Structure 1
Amino acid sequence: MALQTAPARQNLPVETDSFIGRDRDLSDLLRLLDADRVVTLSGADGIGKTRLALRLAAHATASFPDGVWLADLSGLDTRAEVAARIAAAVGVTEEALADPVENLCETLRRRALLLVLDDCDAAAGHVAEVAAALVAGCPALSLLLTASEPLRVPGERVWRVPPLTLPREGADPAESGAVRLFLDRAAAAAPGFTVDPAGLRAVARVCERLGGVPLAVELVAAWAGRVPLDRLAEGLAAYLPAAPGRRHGRAARLRLVEGVLAWSHALLSGPERVLLRRLSVFPDWDLEGAERVCGGAPLEEPAVLDLLSGLVDRALVALTGEHHNRVRYRLPGAVRRFAAARLAESGEADEVGAAHTARMAAVAEELGRIAMEGRPMPWAERFGHLQRVVSEYGNMRAALLRAERRGDAASGLRLCAGLRTYWVLGHHFGEAGAWCDSFLPMAGGDDALRAPVLVLRAQVYRAQRRYAEAARAAARAEELGRAAGDAETVGQALNVLADLDVRDGAYARARERAVEVLESARSTGDLWNEAVALALVGAVAVHTRELGEADTRFNTALMIMRGMDHRWGVGLVLMAQGAAAEVQGDAQSADRCYREALDIQRGIGSAPEIAAALAGVGRIAPALGSVAQSYDYLSESLLVAHAAGHRPGVAHALTAIAKVALEQGAAADALRCAGAAAALRGGLDSELPDPLRLAAPAGVGADPEQVRAWWEEGGRLGLDAAVDLALRITESGRPMRPRPAPTRLSQPPRTALTPREHEIAQLIGQGQSNRVISENLFITQATVARHVANINRKMGFNSRRQIAAWVNRHAVSP
């Protein structure tokens, strides 16, 4: 069966070997997935649930316009972790104040997508709860689950995954799925492997003995090139339970897989056995990690690569692909559980677990140090280190859990401090706060370790609008940092406190704290804290109307961040400087700051920051004479924030669209939009805009009762309806332009397009699809399609081919 190749968004892994023996199952499951919204593939370990689910999902991509998304739920413990793993898979950002499941459901409410939730057993009850909420709240969403037993989700259809077909009496053995799989995997392990008719019959007998269980077949086939076929059958007999026949249950299959694993384990060399059991501490790993954690006596680090390669050849270790130029590996679930049992029997479990925790703490500390390090470093290198956490996060979480279980405060605090930038940059505030609250009160671990974690806790509190608690945590971090002589942490704590002071209007105190940081940072060479403090002094100067000082401070902060080539830091300062210029009415400077920040944030890929920069450009555009461009950027900001489930970003975009619409005389819809924003912000901020105060500057002639009626009507809309209203405002508010006459299509007026439309036109000229453009520009495909339609409308075109021809003919540049 050929894969459907219709364009669709997905994060499915690339298949590394052939898929054999399930064609009929695939056909039946595709029909089932069309008819039912919840399909669970169930069965014992090794029966092939995950592999079947991934191939089924790949075939189903054309049926789900909003994509097919895989979330691996192995090893999870809580409802919040399940929701967070699913949210990460579909690109939904954590909302600091919202329940994670409610935010997920609200964000995905109208998306037609397929969620593949793999390995649900560890948190089956929580998975069932989250899945039920998604089914109830998202009518266009479908679920494909893998688990050993049904999860009892409402509407669930259960497909018991059967073993591969076995040879039929009198038929060619090579026609059976189990024999075909054996021959394929044997040839992969030993190139040139072939069998004669007698050998084929021997293979058929082995597959019959293995009950057609795919994992068992693969494990045995991996030895076929080294062990004669007759000895394979003889050796297996001592490890397998009594012949189960062709029909046997889950328990018998579990015993069969365990027996095959024991047989394969016995054939390994002593060093291979040591490495296999030690690798069970990893959810997945790269070579360096395996060497550092598993390389103790009796193994030597240089020998780990060859031993690991041997385990890959034996089908005991799987390759998961290459991430950030490092090949990564994992143990299949059944193999990992077998190896973990051997590790416990060896008496090495505590020692190897401690080595894994120490390794992850060291990696986290290195990444945290590089994130804030003041020395110049190419941004690609610095960002690459930050991105490495994505690859290692499963290991980081395993280390955090181990430290929590063992009461190891020191390791837990080290991990939290090292992960600070990853958590803050990725908006993982709930998880960060939970881990901080686990380790900060724990006995053990000195105050020098607690101080930077308290800074992180203060930043999380601030994101959650818990400002008093943020101030207390930052003040405690300052106190502990001073006692430990940690000037860097003291500077970070003071910067958080100064930022809170600016919010509270305590400008003198904010300046005092920021100046103290400046003096300390300059004496110690702490460039990061110096630049942040300079930006805070600049913000204070804006509020106190010392505009010359504000420009000087912001520009100096930018110079430092640029000198470090720290693009994230540059983006933070530019957003602050843009906001200051906006307050001053300096539209040109604000526009420049927001646009450069937008370019930076697109490269980093954080949806909330992209949405904020887009909103900044959109707010400024009317002052620069372009309402149409304002609506372009504000609508994109709204869509980015909405797609990411970031309610503050949605509220800000709605408010900005309402203000532009009021200035354009669309009072009724504008006030409805503003009312919707206020309702959304009601759970986010205590300070809400007043409808009459909003309407007055625009000279709305309606009486106060009508203004409030429109406002209250908007407040009752709900999130999706509010977004629809705002998008209708932006579409109707764009001035219509007459189409150029057909004779002038060869040279249409370039000034008709916005900068974003020029950018998209260029990418079309390079032959890129809407999907590729959306990924490159970090916007939704719907947004790309809308821009393409605008380009066609403005330029008088009627196809992408005409856009591409025009771009390439005239060498159009943004």
Structure 2
Amino acid sequence: MSQLMDCGVRGEVRVHHGARLYGREGEFAELSRLLHLPEVRLLTVTGPAGVGKSALATAVLATVVPSAADAVVGVDLASTGDPLAAWRKVASGLGMSGAAVPSPDRIGAWIGDRRVFLALDNGDLVAPLLAPGIGALLGRCPRLRVLLTSRSSLNVYAEHLFPVAPLPVRPRGRGTGISVAARLFLDRVGAHYRRDVLQGGDLRNISEICEALDGLPLAIEVTARAVGTMGTAELLQALRSGEFPYRSQLLDVPTRHQSVPGALSWGDRALTPDERSLMRRLAVCESSVDLLTVQCLGGLSRMQAAGRLDSLVHKSLLVSAKRAGGEPEFRMLAVVRSHYRKQLARCPEESAEARARHMDHYMRFAAVAKSGLRAAERRSRWLDLVLTRLPDIRTAVHGLQARGAHAEVVRLLLALDDALTVHHLLPEAAVVLERSLAALQAAGPRDDGLTPLLADALRTAGRWAMVAGDRERAGELLTRAGELYERAGVPGGSAKTAVFLGELARRAGDLRGAVALAEGAVATLDARREVRGAAAARRLLALALAGLGDAGAEEPLLRALDDLCSLDDPYARALALVDLARVRLLRGRGAAAHGAVREAMELLLLHSGGPADVVLALETTARAAPDRSDAERQLVRQVLGVARTLRERHGVPPGGDPLPVSEGEPPADCLSLEAALTLALSVPSAPEAADESEADAVRPAGLTPRQYQIAELVAEGMTNRQIARTLELSEWTVVNHLRQVMNKLECPSRVHVARVMRQRAG
């Protein structure tokens, strides 16, 4: 900033070298508004290095009107490293003379009652040291106003913070134009090469380059100047491999503004040794970090981690990235991560320790995720969290394999099985798992208790192969798993393996063999009180019995659903309900099948299922849907079209159940799993058997026929389980309906529901 700026309004906003202030229209307007509010006397423009704080402040100050101040004084504090040097610069900017040792008191006496606008630029190194003096100045000079640009705030009561974020890296709205960040990149490409990068391929590369640079203006400007000797594709590849080709040769730009690393190195002087160490350690992370991550990688107590994390956020080295419904998270911009990784690489011992802590943290993360993924209230959050942390999980897995810690790799992958299934990561995970399996098996016999873990890994790998449609490989892996369980004396593992072998037998047409394996597994798992495993065995038993035409085929599934009510596991209930619908279809009970699969889809929509689960639910819905009108048949064809598309997209092997009609074209907006389930839920149910007009006359207003039916059975003294068996519903469904009955009848308990229903009966 210049030392003295006139107060007249200027024309189009321009910054360094006459270039327009890209993408800052909103910030420009808001900052201008704040600077004209009388109550805002201290305003700090803050944000990461290279985000454009100084450029924005300079542009806004050029519009300060005469009525706002008698003088606008700009002071660049970049070269000052202590308070005395900073106050000398301020005094010089104000035109003070004869003050050998300027102080806030003397400067305040000089300003007095005049209307002065003091703009302090690049205060990063001295901002915390100037805070008491600035507070004193504002108290002594009632018409003084201060604007500061700094990565760190002053932390005084009078301060108003104005954070500046990186530029948007995606086009605004739903148009097909280029983003603000990409426009800046194009403007900064040298004039000799600019016309050469306006082609489609280059524009796509430029958009991805801007995303890799997190929309940071300084990084974009300098990287763009490398275009010419390097093509956009080569630049993008360099960025993806962690290289940042900075080649600025502008002679009139300070060294610290010629690259983001230069700006960060300059700002490093404001960090404590502990903060620098923590930044180096956090740089091993690929994705967001939370308080627990900081605690683990820094080797800190929870309170120490909270304090240092807060300091790094306030110094704009970490950016808030809070997820909806989750704990606060923070991310490091890519160029910042690269800077501190290079510092870490110069300290081999610290680097080794940081990476070891990172691997340990993600092994613990996976162990906690295992239980979270099976809890109804936490499942969605953990699915989201695993996907967010996937780059770090990959890094941890590769690091563990490089160290030969293959048992830890197996434990981590098995713990994340549910999330890997939902996010369609099984093909990638299977390659990693088999590599560690091979290494463990190559190590030969062990006496360290790893045999059950090896058997678990083989069973999981076999299931994943079965999901991928490779039945031969699945059978081989599952057979080996069963042998290991037998050798180790783990009957529960043998029984769970038998369930998968039974499913392979069922798919191959050996229904009686499948029944035998399922019955043996049910007996073993019931005896061990393994509810989830026993429910899976009953699902197989029911499907096999239904294939044989057994009239009691539904019974195992109804028992499984009852048992699963004791677990907080909506995903397991959804799978059982889909299989119940399939069994009912085999028995010719389409309306009852449709009710079961609808309930399953509601659970999958709320709690997320994998692609194979959703596809099976969609196809079962289509088979169970009533055939009443052309419109309904068209809807069913669309559901089948979506199922076909999802199978192709996610590599789900063909199912064995017969489909009712030819497939139609899927709606363009129904190709996500959530949208597909929503579409399938719009398929109408079969009509209730009861006469609606007669029911309307007798049931309380607001109750559906099913709710009225359940209320009547409550009045008869039935338990939820008895009602579920009578109506062929899951106990969970009865509980939900009964809750609605109590709300509609304004009854605090089922006893009151029974009383109301008896009174109505006379």
State the TM-score, normalized to the length of structure 1: 0.52
Is 1:514 aligned to 2:511, yes or no?
A: no
* Deviations, residues 349-377 of structure 1 (Å, cap 9, x unaligned): 222212221221122123224546xxxx5
Structure 1 stretch displaced more, 285-294 or 434-443: 285-294
Q: Distance in 2 between matches of 1:459 and 1:411?
A: 20
Amino acid at match of 1:289: L
Aligned 1:227-242 pairs, distance under 5 A = none
By how many angstroms is 1:560 displaced?
Answer: 1.6
Aligned 1:39-78 pairs, distance under 5 A = 55=168, 57-59=170-172, 61-63=174-176
Amino acid at match of 2:385: R
Q: Distance in 1 between matches of 2:471 and 2:460?
A: 14
Cα distance change of structure 1 residues 142 and 280 upon mapping to structure 2, 3 Å threshold: closer
Aligned 1:718-757 pairs, distance under 5 A = 723-724=664-665
Matched residue, 1:357: 359
Matched residue, 2:312: 311
Structure 1 stretch displaced more, 571-580 or 335-344: 335-344
Aligned 1:28-177 pairs, distance under 5 A = 55=168, 57-59=170-172, 61-63=174-176, 145-147=207-209, 161-162=220-221
Cα distance change of structure 1 residues 149 and 613 upon mapping to structure 2, 3 Å threshold: closer
Q: Mind listing any 5+ residue stretches in structure 1 that lack a counterpart?
A: 1-19, 28-44, 70-113, 115-131, 151-158, 166-239, 661-669, 674-722, 728-769, 788-809
Cα distance change of structure 1 residues 264 and 326 upon mapping to structure 2, 3 Å threshold: same
Q: Distance in 1 between matches of 2:324 and 2:454?
A: 32
* Cα pair 2:287 2:331 within 8 Å, conserved: yes
Q: Distance in 2 between matches of 1:640 and 1:135?
A: 33
* Cα pair 2:469 2:653 within 8 Å, conserved: no
Is 1:281 aligned to 2:266, yes or no?
A: no
Cα distance change of structure 1 residues 282 and 482 upon mapping to structure 2, 3 Å threshold: farther
* Cα pair 1:53 1:146 within 8 Å, conserved: no
Amino acid at match of 1:431: E
By how many angstroms is 1:63 displaced?
Answer: 3.7
Amino acid at match of 1:313: H
Q: Distance in 1 between matches of 2:589 and 2:606?
A: 26
Matched residue, 2:411: 414
* Deviations, residues 225-249 of structure 1 (Å, cap 9, x unaligned): xxxxxxxxxxxxxxx999951479x
* Deviations, residues 735-794 of structure 1 (Å, cap 9, x unaligned): xxxxxxxxxxxxxxxxxxxxxxxxxxxxxxxxxxx99x999962499x79x99xxxxxxx
SS of equivalent residue, structure 2 residue 424 = coil
Cα distance change of structure 1 residues 287 and 26 upon mapping to structure 2, 3 Å threshold: closer
Aligned-residue identity in percent: 18
Matched residue, 1:466: 470
Aligned 1:649-798 pairs, distance under 5 A = 656=659, 659-660=660-661, 723-724=664-665, 778-779=675-676
Q: 1:642 aligns with which of 633, 642, 645?
A: 645
Is 1:557 aligned to 2:616, yes or no?
A: no
State the TM-score, normalized to the length of structure 2: 0.55
Cα distance change of structure 1 residues 775 and 447 upon mapping to structure 2, 3 Å threshold: closer
Q: Distance in 1 between matches of 2:637 and 2:263?
A: 60
Matched residue, 2:262: 259
Cα distance change of structure 1 residues 46 and 363 upon mapping to structure 2, 3 Å threshold: same
Q: Distance in 2 between matches of 1:430 and 1:363?
A: 22
Matched residue, 1:336: 337
Cα distance change of structure 1 residues 481 and 241 upon mapping to structure 2, 3 Å threshold: same
Larger relative CO (CA 8 A, sep 6+): 1 or 2? 1
SS of equivalent residue, structure 2 residue 378 = helix
By how many angstroms is 1:255 displaced?
Answer: 7.3
By how many angstroms is 1:307 displaced?
Answer: 0.7
Amino acid at match of 1:307: R
Matched residue, 1:578: 581
Q: 2:595 aligns with which of 592, 610, 614?
A: 592
Amino acid at match of 2:526: R
Q: Distance in 2 between matches of 1:274 and 1:524?
A: 50
* Cα pair 2:578 2:617 within 8 Å, conserved: yes
Cα distance change of structure 1 residues 144 and 573 upon mapping to structure 2, 3 Å threshold: farther
SS of equivalent residue, structure 1 residue 327 = coil
Q: 2:436 aligns with which of 435, 439, 448?
A: 439
Q: Distance in 2 between matches of 1:527 and 1:491?
A: 13
By how many angstroms is 1:161 displaced?
Answer: 4.2
* Cα pair 2:320 2:328 within 8 Å, conserved: yes
Is 1:526 aligned to 2:530, yes or no?
A: yes
Cα distance change of structure 1 residues 485 and 303 upon mapping to structure 2, 3 Å threshold: farther
Q: Distance in 2 between matches of 1:813 and 1:145?
A: 56
SS of equivalent residue, structure 2 residue 316 = coil
Q: Distance in 2 between matches of 1:160 and 1:395?
A: 24
* Cα pair 1:321 1:329 within 8 Å, conserved: yes
Instruction: Quote the RMSD (CA, aligned, Å).
Output: 4.7
Q: Number of residue pairs matched?
A: 485
SS of equivalent residue, structure 2 residue 329 = strand
Q: Mind listing any 5+ residue stretches in structure 2 that lack a counterpart?
A: 1-14, 25-48, 53-163, 183-198, 213-217, 225-245, 684-701, 707-762
SS of equivalent residue, structure 2 residue 285 = coil
Q: Distance in 2 between matches of 1:386 and 1:164?
A: 36
* Cα pair 2:538 2:560 within 8 Å, conserved: yes
Amino acid at match of 1:778: A
Matched residue, 1:302: 303
Aligned 1:220-231 pairs, distance under 5 A = none
Is 1:546 aligned to 2:554, yes or no?
A: no
* Cα pair 1:774 1:780 within 8 Å, conserved: no
Q: Distance in 2 between matches of 1:488 and 1:391?
A: 34
Cα distance change of structure 1 residues 644 and 325 upon mapping to structure 2, 3 Å threshold: farther
Q: Distance in 2 between matches of 1:302 and 1:412?
A: 31
Cα distance change of structure 1 residues 644 and 530 upon mapping to structure 2, 3 Å threshold: closer
- Of Structure 1 and Structure 2, the greater helix share is in 1
Q: Distance in 2 between matches of 1:164 and 1:323?
A: 33
Cα distance change of structure 1 residues 598 and 144 upon mapping to structure 2, 3 Å threshold: farther
Q: 2:622 aligns with which of 618, 622, 630?
A: 618
Q: Distance in 2 between matches of 1:514 and 1:356?
A: 42
Amino acid at match of 2:334: G
Amino acid at match of 2:343: R
By how many angstroms is 1:265 displaced?
Answer: 2.4
Q: Distance in 2 between matches of 1:779 and 1:545?
A: 32
By how many angstroms is 1:499 displaced?
Answer: 0.9
